[in-house]
A and B are shown apart, each in its own frame.
Chain A
Amino acid sequence: MLLTPHPSYRCFNMQTVLYDGSYQGFLCAVFDVYDYKFSLVDICTKDQFKGNIFEQVHNVHHHKEHSERVLKGLKQKVSRETLLDIYRAFLSEKTGIENTLLQFIQYVFSNKISVEKDFSHPAVITIGETVKKVRREKHRMEAFIRFQKTKDGMFYAIIEPDFNVLPLIITHFKSRYADQKWIIYDTRRKYGIHYDGVICSEITIDCSTTGSSVNEAETQLDEQEELYQKLWQSYFKSINIEARKNTKLHLQHVPRRYWKYLTEKQLKF
């Protein structure tokens, strides 16, 4: 575990690099690490930083040309898919993932040959495992999102994904539901995506009123909404084969934490 600095280093040599938590911000942080020639680095968000008087702290400022230069450099060294994997791993919001990504980027830039498929490298392994989890969560959201139709013809869905996968699912829902208006709202991260039939835009709802506006939407449902929910629940029951019951397998595919928003798992009727 050569790449994770031992905690005892932290007091004297560690250079803390603080950024705002955005992907652009992270790329600028990578730029600064090279620009300032930092060696032992801990990249972390301003929110997470607990402070330590012995550490040297560097604040990252947004410069579009900085993030673009890092991206441009990466594009020359790695495939499109690996570039996307860096973004996917970043969206895991896992503590310390910025440092793993930096190690990977440094490994890429310090080699003349392509190293993205060196599956024996610790950073490549960690990123691979993280990406696997993020992709699974993305796929689960594409599967488990349940829209409810409101009186004004809007289809809305609430999600609480383990990782910040909303940016990764927009394309899927936009191309699939091109002819209907929809909203997907992440209550954990307090933002959502609204598609008006033409374009997608990011929306936020004031935290203090989130609960009430969701309830309000429920009272404003389309008159056929309840029927179709009932039909779906009843369909779900009918297709089960009792002689094959296998709860372990069922839970493996649909862990309990997803049940909250699954229409077929509600006992409303």
Chain B
Amino acid sequence: MNDRILEKLNILADAAKYDVSCSSSGSKRKNDTKGLGNAEGMGICHTYTADGRCVSLLKILLTNHCIFDCAYCVSRKSNDVKRAAFTVQEVVDLTINFYRRNYIEGLFLSSGIFSNADYTMERLVRIAKKLRLEENFNGYIHLKSIPGASDELLTEAGKYADRLSMNIEMPTEKSLKLLAPDKKREDMIRPMTFIKNAIIANRAEKQLKVKKPLFVPAGQSTQMVIGATPESDWQILKLSDGFYKHFNLKRVYYSGYVPISNDNRLPAFGTPVPMVRENRLYQADWLMRFYGYNVDEIVSAEDPFLDMQIDPKLNWALKNLHQFPVDINKADVNIIKRIPGIGLKSAYKIFEARKFTRLTWDHLKKFNIAANRAQYFVNLKIDDWQRKDYSPQQIKNFILSAGNSKYAANSSPQLSLF
């Protein structure tokens, strides 16, 4: 009995690990009932895998049996892998017992599609409902919305889950058709739209001071696979921008394709995971969400790929050198945020501290800025360094030769054995 559950957990955790979402933040669920758990505000990463990714939730599939044959997925119908399925009670017991030992923030439940969409969705909802109503569990629950699931089941899911997600999988419909012939983009967009509207309606009623139960308090997210298909960063980021603006998505995740198949439609086994590109996409995503950059400032149809050597913020600054150097003591805080090497927290400290004193380079260094980047973009006297009119390429070279890229080893085409 114990060996069987161990085996199931191995199979169904292994199959779920390519879904990169690990977030457990942004919900508002309190433990008012003196039950088990809460999901308020800040998320917690309880541990990190050997590859450095955060482990916050028990991330498993209910089953890896699947009627679909998506080329990029380990659980595809035609793949010869061990199959398994949890019972509802097994998932509940694992969640509760892991949670009580402080291993996890909650459950992230996804599933292969067995029988049909509604049948699968109904099982996922049943587990969330049981955790909430029978176990009095107030921890975080992230459910996957199954493409093509009915509005009734989505509404039911939204009552018990903190977050719902629907993976768009591929940046374009063309790639989706090529690699996931059973999936239609329309089946993904429709539930996302339905949930978006239901969330808006729920929040609007709340504003009328009507006591309403929570409905997907941590919002929706999605994910796309990067590097399996030829799309440009411009196409990818345009799509993300649309999701943030028109679907109110909380997060778009980018999953660098890990070769898992001999399919000739996909990169071969042994092709390195595009980790640098993935990281640059996240940096660009952050610039759009927190730094006030418009997507068109970061990439464009004429210049559709992100620079792999330097981050997109530095890249933007080098292309717009006429806006620099910035006067730290006078400039608008939104301009200060755009200085390479100065993050949101340092920008805030600069903004507050300059009310008391005229800031110098020594002050800035104490705010933990990245001095080797910022020095080219601020109009302060910097130690005994002589400012000259450098070209963008010169500045880029200085910065690259001064820093050790954390990706130097990973961008080598040679895969290391250990």
* A194 to B: closest C-beta gap in Å: 16
Q: With A238-B13, A250-B50, A254-B47 as known contacts, state yes or no: A118 contacts B35, CB within 8 Å.
A: no
* B389 to A: closest C-beta gap in Å: 30
* A255 to B: closest C-beta gap in Å: 11
Chain A residues within an 8 Å CB radius of B6: 230-231, 234
> What residue of chain A has the Cβ atom nearest to residue B18's Cβ?
A241
Q: With A120-B363, A228-B98 as known contacts, state yes or no: A235 contacts B58, CB within 8 Å.
A: yes
Q: What's the tally of chain B residues with a CB closer than 8 Å to chain A? A: 60
A104: Cβ under 8 A from any B Cβ: no
User: Which residues 113-137 of A sit at the B interface, judged by CB distance below 8 A?
Assistant: 115, 117-121, 125
Chain B residues within an 8 Å CB radius of A115: 356
Residue picked from B17, B42, B100, B259, most chain A C-beta under 10 Å: B100
Chain B residues within an 8 Å CB radius of A252: 52
Q: Which of B52, B275, B353 contacts A120 (CB 8 A)?
A: B353
Contact, CB under 8 Å: A250 / B49 = yes
Contact, CB under 8 Å: A243 / B9 = no
* A143 to B: closest C-beta gap in Å: 5
- Cβ proximity bits B44-75 to A, threshold 8 Å, 1 near / 0 not: 11111111111100110000000000000000
Contact, CB under 8 Å: A176 / B37 = yes
Q: With A120-B353, A142-B44 as known contacts, state yes or no: A240 contacts B101, CB within 8 Å.
A: no
Q: With A115-B356, A228-B101, A236-B49 as known contacts, state yes or no: A177 contacts B36, CB within 8 Å.
A: yes
A71: Cβ under 8 A from any B Cβ: no
* A24 to B: closest C-beta gap in Å: 29
* A198 to B: closest C-beta gap in Å: 10
Which segment, of A55-63, A81-89, A91-99, A147-155, faces chain B?
A147-155
* A63 to B: closest C-beta gap in Å: 34
Q: With A120-B356, A144-B46, A227-B2 as known contacts, state yes or no: A235 contacts B13, CB within 8 Å.
A: yes
Q: With A120-B353, A143-B44, A147-B102 as known contacts, state yes or no: A240 contacts B49, CB within 8 Å.
A: yes
User: Which residues 141-178 of A sit at the B interface, judged by CB distance below 8 A?
Assistant: 142-149, 155, 157, 175-178
* B66 to A: closest C-beta gap in Å: 18
Bound form: Cα–Cα A119–B360 in Å = 12
User: Which residues 198-242 of A sit at the B interface, judged by CB distance below 8 A?
Assistant: 224, 227-228, 230-232, 234-242
B103: Cβ under 8 A from any A Cβ: yes
Chain B residues within an 8 Å CB radius of A146: 101-103
- Cβ proximity bits B248-273 to A, threshold 8 Å, 1 near / 0 not: 00000000101100000000000011
Chain B residues within an 8 Å CB radius of A230: 6
Could you show 29 A-B contacts with beta carbons less than 8 Å apart? A117-B355, A118-B352, A118-B356, A120-B363, A121-B356, A142-B44, A147-B100, A147-B102, A149-B101, A155-B100, A177-B36, A178-B34, A179-B35, A228-B98, A231-B6, A231-B9, A236-B49, A239-B49, A240-B17, A241-B258, A243-B272, A243-B415, A244-B52, A244-B275, A245-B50, A246-B52, A246-B410, A254-B48, A263-B101
Which A residues form the contact surface with B (CB < 8 A)? Answer: 115, 117-121, 125, 139, 142-149, 155, 157, 175-180, 224, 227-228, 230-232, 234-250, 252-254, 262-264
